[in-house]
Structure 1
């Protein structure tokens, strides 16, 4: 694949993530005002689906443009059509320059390579390499933690391990085996132990480990994009809300005991250095990165748990919402594509641009001729007028 095609796919992924984050924030605001706002499991499933959709968007767009329709409508052509209809108050030359910003950027980064372009590419490469190395160290640390833990029980394909080093329980998986790592101190409190194991097993049912792995894999590509960190935070927060809500739905659930378990787990997690204890991909009972920012995340979880759940939203309603969200993301992905060739509207815009340039030159030519006749030419190199 050509360098410009790779760079355009990279830009499409980042722009689509911005658009996806904006769509999700709007959808979440609307959902919060309805009965759907307090049903977190469907929200998490929708967000996980869109995460996978964003990651696969370059391949999906390629498949759609190759198999379904070769020339889908794109944002650039739609803007040109609006300009030709007189809905944009701007000169044609200025409008064409704005439309060509992306093409000029790609051309500069891949062909011209000025100093700033080389510095930008170098910064992206260094950042991606650093994030990849950080992920590799986290995986090695996780592997070492699993090896140092002691096998305790086995539930199907899930192995329960005990660790003297872990301060908070977490779950992870290999290709075929799932692991729940429990602090040995939990053995002294059977109730906390039961609630913690149930919570971590719920993460497996929600496919949270796989989604966390996907987010970690995307980080080297999107490390500079603030929309990525917003999206990841939303996923992590929703997964805990969904887990807590699933626990509440169990018969004879002790709400007070569960809240006290979360508070104790948060207190233990705050004692674990965040920068030097990162293990990935793993999902913990309490996220240590959230405890480092204060009690806001725990407070939101406790409020969500104690608030309960409103009337159950219909599955048909969620199917409609999910379909609209997926359609909006895929439509945005197609609109971000570059124009395939010169359309009739683009030829007309180019003609208008040429006419504007000819008119500009015709307006300056009489002034130049008049200046020559009156002897007001400035001689290059001297900076004085010659009589």
Structure 2
């Protein structure tokens, strides 16, 4: 039972940390725009992925720090705890608050844990379990759908371990991978448009070079665990947009396509993607040239295409993305891991906690019996 509680606590902390990093990223991104780094899409993409990895592995980092503290390699006073910091600031008179309210606020985590051990916790566990099964089933169906598309396609060319396939069942080019090989699937109708074929092929090969397919599959596997957290979906959407902007930039720089030619290709592929397909459309574990969605989510796909074309037309070169990434990653990852330590449950019997408990008890005695005389008063 203790192990289950520990795992659930780590799961909640990862979700809280993801929300925190999303808020930090919103501020960080605005600062980058002000600093003139709004066009640094490749550096931003690497930064988002690195921070996401830091969030996912944060429970391991916290466990390592805890073991180091127990072994005496890390002094507890050198670590940061949010609860202890707030309590210390209160006892130093930095802000005013009712002591009883502060004690309840500090003990909120324990109260929540107590509530979750009852029927409410069972209901939440059932909700999370049902959501996990639904999204896992959806992912399984998407893998089957992807396999069906690949099996029904035929190999056009092979470039090393990369297979170029043609399919009559898709309207938008996409890239994916198997256990050993990487695969680019192109619509058969695109063979009649040589210019579009070259651009689409170059775009998908760039996705393979950037490792975008592996990241897309990894996020798909993680999604059933974090399906309920809006921060995960916002993070994933931001990664998808930066991924496409980065790929557009790299292709235009490497291949030297004209801006008009590239934008025309995107518009034609978007038009093709809106046509009905023979196979049921699902969200495949793959990276497509662009998203083509109708109905409720059509506006989002159209907005992304518009932003991509604006970036392509602007044509601002990104210099030294690796150096920019290295400069930005260190503080952001440090903030993330520090926050992972800071949100841990504090010790129950620290001096500050005992002092706060004493103040609360004295106020309760005063409320029941009247003012409590000091031991230096006359008569004592």
TM-score (norm 2): 0.89
Question: How far apart, CA to CA, are the structure 1 residues paired with 2:81 and 2:311?
Answer: 41
SS of residue in 1 equivalent to 2:124: helix
Instruction: Pick one of 71, 74, 95 that aligns with 1:69.
Output: 74
- 1:45 partnered with 2:51: no
**CA distance change for structure 1 residues 269 and 278 in 2, over 3 Å: closer, same or farther?**
same
Question: How far apart, CA to CA, are the structure 1 residues paired with 2:275 and 2:355?
Answer: 66
Q: What do residues 295-322 of structure 1 show as CA deviations (whole Å, max 9, x unaligned)?
A: 2111100001101115735754432211
Q: CA deviation at 1:187?
A: 0.6
What residue is the counterpart of 2:16 in the other structure? 15
Q: CA deviation at 1:271?
A: 2.7
- 1:277 partnered with 2:281: yes
Question: How far apart, CA to CA, are the structure 1 residues paired with 2:3 and 2:38?
Answer: 45
Root mean square deviation of aligned Cα: 2.2
**CA distance change for structure 1 residues 75 and 241 in 2, over 3 Å: closer, same or farther?**
same
Q: What do residues 161-188 of structure 1 show as CA deviations (whole Å, max 9, x unaligned)?
A: 1111011011111222111011001111
- 1:102 partnered with 2:103: no
SS of residue in 2 equivalent to 1:161: strand
Q: CA deviation at 1:135?
A: 1.0
What residue is the counterpart of 2:376 in the other structure? none
Q: What do residues 129-162 of structure 1 show as CA deviations (whole Å, max 9, x unaligned)?
A: 1111111111111112111111111111111111
- 1:218 partnered with 2:225: no
Question: How far apart, CA to CA, are the structure 2 residues paired with 1:162 and 1:11?
Answer: 44
> Number of matched residues?
361
Q: CA deviation at 1:283?
A: 0.5
Q: CA deviation at 1:279?
A: 4.2
- 1:170 partnered with 2:174: yes
Alignment of 1:234-383 (within 5 A): 234-272=238-276, 276-289=280-293, 292-293=298-299, 295-310=302-317, 312=319, 315-363=322-370
**CA distance change for structure 1 residues 168 and 125 in 2, over 3 Å: closer, same or farther?**
same
Contact 2:166 2:187 in 1 (8 A): yes
Q: CA deviation at 1:363?
A: 4.0
Contact 1:241 1:301 in 2 (8 A): yes
Contact 2:80 2:338 in 1 (8 A): no
What residue is the counterpart of 1:378 in the other structure? none
**CA distance change for structure 1 residues 235 and 311 in 2, over 3 Å: closer, same or farther?**
closer
Question: How far apart, CA to CA, are the structure 1 residues paired with 2:327 and 2:23?
Answer: 19
Question: How far apart, CA to CA, are the structure 1 residues paired with 2:326 and 2:245?
Answer: 20
What residue is the counterpart of 1:157 in the other structure? 161
Gapped runs of 5+ residues in structure 2? 372-380
SS of residue in 2 equivalent to 1:48: helix
**CA distance change for structure 1 residues 8 and 213 in 2, over 3 Å: closer, same or farther?**
same
Q: CA deviation at 1:220?
A: 1.4
Question: How far apart, CA to CA, are the structure 2 residues paired with 1:130 and 1:58?
Answer: 26
SS of residue in 2 equivalent to 1:182: strand
Q: What do residues 211-262 of structure 1 show as CA deviations (whole Å, max 9, x unaligned)?
A: 1122112211211111111111100000000000001212532221111111
**CA distance change for structure 1 residues 289 and 85 in 2, over 3 Å: closer, same or farther?**
farther
Structure (1 or 2) with the larger CA radius of gyration: 1
Q: CA deviation at 1:349?
A: 1.3
- 1:179 partnered with 2:176: no
Contact 1:270 1:292 in 2 (8 A): no
Gapped runs of 5+ residues in structure 1? 365-387
Q: CA deviation at 1:189?
A: 0.7
Question: How far apart, CA to CA, are the structure 2 residues paired with 1:289 and 1:352?
Answer: 60
What residue is the counterpart of 2:375 in the other structure? none
What residue is the counterpart of 2:97 in the other structure? 90
